[in-house]
Amino acid sequence: MIQFLLNNQLVTEKELDPNLTVLTYLRSRLRRSGTKEGCASGDCGACSVTLGKAVKGKMQYETVNSCLTLVSTLQGKQLITVEDLKQGDRLHPAQQAMVDCHGSQCGFCTPGFVMSLFSLQKNSESWDRHQAETALAGNLCRCTGYRPIMDAAVQLCSQPCRDQFMQTEANVVQRLEGLNTPEMLELKGEGRRCFLPKTPEQLAQIYLEYPDASLVAGGTDLSLQITQQYKKLPVLIALEQVEALKVCSESETHYELGAGASLHHITDFLAERIPGVSEMLQRFASLQIRLQGTLGGNIANASPIGDASPMLLALNASLILQQGEKNAAWPSTRFLPVIGKRSCSKGNLSAPLRCLK
């Protein structure tokens, strides 16, 4: 069972195929056709939706590709689609800016752009053009051109926006916090299962019980087996709820990067610590992908074109691993690259680095 907010409506799904993507769930199950399928591989952004989560008593919004996001990711979050933005007979400012600036032509990609603009405005107390370009880089337009869309971003972010989401934020935070339970959840349907552990200990235990299960973190690679190769994954273990895997920390001798930390979070963490790594990660796909994709997943999928492995080799990084209760003396993150910092010179990926052994 999973529970989440569809805008302001509590949704409880007791039986649902865990191989289902959020895009298919929206269009086929909920009949919300505003979210479009363009490429089904996370390239075009037409399927972009916003996921809201409560962080330290505030709402944090992230734009994600719903074509790659499995339904288990919705647990404990707020799902916002383009249908939720309009208030009464008035368009949301993100929608109105696209109208005013003539940012839409055929309209197929427009909902995705609108959701990226919505998240940009929500997360930007102050903004600049680079920020807007980064937020929209994962959205492709085939007919309008990007100048009027950038004009819409300028119009939207240059003025205060007190919308319905700001007015209901405190209530939404409270409701989402109420969905945060310590128990490991399980979603099942169509003969397939997905476990959602909350702690490294729960993860270790369930993985020992199901050693052939597919681990899904951001799902930006794994989901392609479902959407492109039409595979059915019988048992999944979703890592999204294991907050300990997302921790990035610093000591006197090294940096520790949680295997479940998103590439976007790691980019921010290393921006002033190892700028060269941060700059490299900013070229990694789009913001939608970086918000979901994880460093651990990029390593573990063993792709010959994995972007992170050469970088970590250059940094002489080490891995901390755990199997069940083995290596239990290691930090609670349990699986993480460790990058030595004592000899690290800013912006130089090839500098010799001392690592934790």
Chain segment 237-292, per-residue pLDDT in tens: 999 999 999 999 998 888 999 999 999 999 999 999 999 988 888 888 899 999 99
Q: What is the pLDDT of residue 196?
A: 98
Q: Same domain, yes or no, for 258 and 329?
A: yes
Binned at pLDDT 50, 70 and 90, residue 348 comes out as very low
Residue 196, domain extent: 185-242
Token reading at 174: 């409270």
For residue 190, pLDDT over 60 is answered with: yes
Binned at pLDDT 50, 70 and 90, residue 333 comes out as very low
Q: What is the pLDDT of residue 288?
A: 96
In a domain, 69, yes or no: no
pLDDT digit string (tens) for 33-86? 999 999 999 999 999 999 999 999 999 999 999 999 999 999 999 999 999 999
Counts for the chain of helices (H) and strands (E), in that order: 14, 13
Spatial distance between the Cα atoms of 235 and 143, rounded to a whole number of angstroms: 41
In a domain, 273, yes or no: yes
In a domain, 350, yes or no: no
Q: What is the pLDDT of residue 182?
A: 92
Q: Same domain, yes or no, for 111 and 135?
A: yes
CB 200 within 8 A of CB 157: no
Q: Same domain, yes or no, for 231 and 279?
A: no
Q: Same domain, yes or no, for 336 and 251?
A: yes
In a domain, 211, yes or no: yes
Q: What is the pLDDT of residue 355?
A: 33
Spatial distance between the Cα atoms of 336 and 322, rounded to a whole number of angstroms: 10
Q: What is the pLDDT of residue 302?
A: 81
What mean pLDDT is predicted for residues 130-149? Answer: 92
Q: Same domain, yes or no, for 223 and 250?
A: no
Q: Same domain, yes or no, for 252 and 335?
A: yes
Q: Same domain, yes or no, for 141 and 189?
A: no
CATH for 127: 1.10.150.120
90 CB contacts (<8 Å, ≥6 apart)?
none
Q: What is the pLDDT of residue 341?
A: 55
Spatial distance between the Cα atoms of 262 and 243, rounded to a whole number of angstroms: 11
In 3D, which of 210, 159, 152 has the Cα closest to residue 184?
Answer: 210
Q: Same domain, yes or no, for 191 and 255?
A: no
In a domain, 125, yes or no: yes
CATH for 200: 3.30.43.10
- Does 320 or 10 have the greater pLDDT score? 10
In a domain, 13, yes or no: no
In a domain, 169, yes or no: no
Q: Same domain, yes or no, for 252 and 228?
A: no
Binned at pLDDT 50, 70 and 90, residue 329 comes out as very low
Q: Same domain, yes or no, for 260 and 307?
A: yes
In a domain, 218, yes or no: yes
pLDDT digit string (tens) for 192-218? 999 999 999 999 999 999 999 999 999
How many domains does the structure of the chain reveal?
3
For residue 236, pLDDT over 90 is answered with: yes
In 3D, which of 83, 79, 86 has the Cα closest to residue 64?
Answer: 79
Q: Which of 242, 262, 283 is the last residue of a domain?
A: 242
Q: Which of 227, 242, 257 is the last residue of a domain?
A: 242
Q: What is the pLDDT of residue 128?
A: 81
Q: Same domain, yes or no, for 252 and 334?
A: yes
For residue 313, pLDDT over 50 is answered with: yes
